[in-house]
Amino acid sequence: MSSFKIFEIAGSGMSAQSVRLNTTASNLANADSVSGDPNQVYRAKHPLFEAIRASLGSNAASSGVAVKGIVENQAAPTARYEPGNPLADANGYVFAPNVNTVEEMVDMISASRSYQNNVEVMNTAKEMMLATLRLGQ
């Protein structure tokens, strides 16, 4: 395995964590939105990751992380009785998204730390390669 594959693997991890950060930001941005129809309310989204492992001795296959898709949380929205709200249905209820802001903030911190770890892997690999090149001097 080439030493340069380290950059490919860490780069795929950074890309995956970037998708995770974007979906978390979208969830937090829509956490306070409401709708008069439970079928049209925003639903929390989460990325689905897959580990890609190259087989030993294979030069063609790559390794890393792939984003397989974005899935929506299927939990029921929260119904709130607000008869004065212009979006309320005939019974006076509005429906809030199924976004847990505490969980989303924890997920954002976790994604940020994972991204930082991948950056650190890339920096360490770069420094090791530079140190190897300096051995012959």
In this prediction, residue 127 carries a pLDDT of 94
Kindly state the DSSP code that residue 88 receives in the 8-state scheme: -
Would you give per-residue pLDDT tens digits along the chain (137 residues)? 577 888 999 999 999 999 999 999 999 999 999 998 999 999 999 999 999 887 665 555 678 999 999 999 999 999 999 998 998 998 999 999 999 999 999 999 999 999 999 999 999 999 999 998 898 77
Which distant-in-sequence residues (6+ apart) come within 8 Å of 37 by Cβ? Answer: 89, 95
pTM of the model: 0.84
Burial letters 40-53, b for 16+ CB under 10 A, else e: ebbbbbbbebeeee
CB 85 within 8 A of CB 34: yes
Residue spans per domain, the chain: 5-32+44-75+100-134
